[in-house]
Amino acid sequence: MQERFLLMIPGPIDFDPAVLRAMSAKTLSHMSVEFAEIFGRALENLRKVFLTEKGQPFVVAGSGTLAMDMAVANLVEPGERVLVLSGGFFGDRMADIARRYQAEVVVVKAPIGEVPSLEEAEKHLKQGGFKAITATHVDTSTGVAVDVKAVGELAQKYGALSIIDGVCATAGMEFRQDEWGIDVYLTASQKAIGVPPGLALLVVSQRAMEAYRKRRSPVLNYYGDFGLWLPVMEAYEARKVAYFATPAVNLIYALDVSLQQILAEGMENRFARHRLLAKAFQAGIDAIGLKQVPLREEIRAWTLTCAYYPDGIGPELLKAIKAEGVVVAAGLHPEIKDKYFRVGHMGTLTPGDVLTTLGAIERALASLGYRFEKGAGVKAAQEILCLTP
């Protein structure tokens, strides 16, 4: 396979060469002071990326689904009520996880391309008794972004814990854990965090850690139990070592490098870059004449674009785009799977990547006989990219 191509899917993304090089360094003992320094720094920096002072970070070998699993398993006990705001594929997965742990699950489901209704959510919350509310920051199956701040306010108003799946959003979309009062924000390494797949990342508020300590029943997931990981995370942050299960040493080297890069850019700059590049890319998609899945411009994600295929063209478009040197993703939402495609734009993304991708999409569409003004997408994006100093 050709090695030089652009990987524009919602994770794994194109990783920075320095991050990839970090993975090839000699594997240290996980019980060494040298590794404690690296892991400890990564834990501190994770807190800074999530914009929290006192949140408790957990970095565990596994994928984003493990992070979802851990959040629910640790904070919800059998018989407790959970309100799941679902915009599609991963919201439905969160509901499945909560049911697996024997929670009583109420789902507020969004129509395709919309956000779940907060009014409907509040109607349920008014009945009382909800332990937690979950939401997906960016729905990976529709490209819709939820107002996480508003979800946090709702959770606090009704005394529920807020659990936000940030897997397709963290370190790309604006997020302020302390200011917005979010109890659990979780993600995976391979998306905007910019590290190859294999790490589940969560930061848990002190309020949620208190709720964990007050549990009456044991956590029904052994590997994911906060209580077994907490002494390990605390030890490494204090530059000491502790063992529960072997950490993914080389992935943590990569995480350390990537988090330092993210903080060197600065969170405000990073949010602004993702917003700008998304705006440029999405203006390009509009100009080409493709309809986007999100029904309103204000709810389009900054990390992902989902667009319908034009009439007469289907998933063969993916192959044609690939032939132009850019890899994009197929549909994911079960109800519209074969009608649209997805483009991830997060992490190391540059203005050049936006133009390259739009150019590849234009050439691919032209090769399949779609009629449009050639260059319209690239031009619309340039209009936005050239406005910045």
Ligand X SMILES: *Cc1c(COP(=O)(O)O)cnc(C)c1O
Q: Which residues bind ligand X (CB under 6 A)?
A: 10-11, 63-65, 90, 136, 140, 165, 167-168, 188
Minimum gap (Å) between residue 247 Cβ and ligand X: 17
Minimum gap (Å) between residue 64 Cβ and ligand X: 3
Burial (0-12, 13-18, 19+ Cβ within 10 Å), 166? buried
Minimum gap (Å) between residue 190 Cβ and ligand X: 6
Minimum gap (Å) between residue 93 Cβ and ligand X: 7
Instruction: Report the residue number, 165 or 353, with the smaller CB distance to ligand X.
Output: 165
Instruction: Report the residue number, 75 or 146, with the smaller CB distance to ligand X.
Output: 146
Our CA angle for 25, 68, 304, nearest 5°, is 75
Minimum gap (Å) between residue 352 Cβ and ligand X: 25
Instruction: Report the residue number, 38 or 167, with the smaller CB distance to ligand X.
Output: 167
Burial (0-12, 13-18, 19+ Cβ within 10 Å), 216? exposed
Residue whose pair of structure tokens reads 């995976």 in the numeric block: 188
Instruction: Report the residue number, 167 or 290, with the smaller CB distance to ligand X.
Output: 167
Residue nearest to ligand X (CB): 64
Minimum gap (Å) between residue 186 Cβ and ligand X: 8
Distances (CA, A) of 169 to 93, 137, 323: 17, 6, 28
Which string of b and e fits 295-318 if b means at least 16 CB within 10 Å?
beeebbbbbbbbbbbbeebeeebb
Q: Decide if 243 contacts 229 (C-beta within 8 A).
A: no
Minimum gap (Å) between residue 370 Cβ and ligand X: 29
Instruction: Report the residue number, 61 or 320, with the smaller CB distance to ligand X.
Output: 61
Minimum gap (Å) between residue 168 Cβ and ligand X: 3
Instruction: Report the residue number, 86 or 205, with the smaller CB distance to ligand X.
Output: 86
Q: Which are the contacts of 102, defined by CB distance < 8 A and separation ≥ 6?
A: 78, 79, 220
Phi, psi of 236 (to 5 degrees): -65, -40
Q: Give one DSSP letter per residue of 302-343, joined into a string.
A: SSEEEEEPPTT--THHHHHHHHTTEE-EE--STTTGGGEEEE
Length of the chain as a residue count:
389
Instruction: Report the residue number, 65 or 156, with the smaller CB distance to ligand X.
Output: 65
Q: Decide if 140 contacts 10 (C-beta within 8 A).
A: yes
The first and second tokens of residue 348, run together, are: 């190391």
Q: Decide if 231 contacts 18 (C-beta within 8 A).
A: no
Instruction: Report the residue number, 140 or 382, with the smaller CB distance to ligand X.
Output: 140
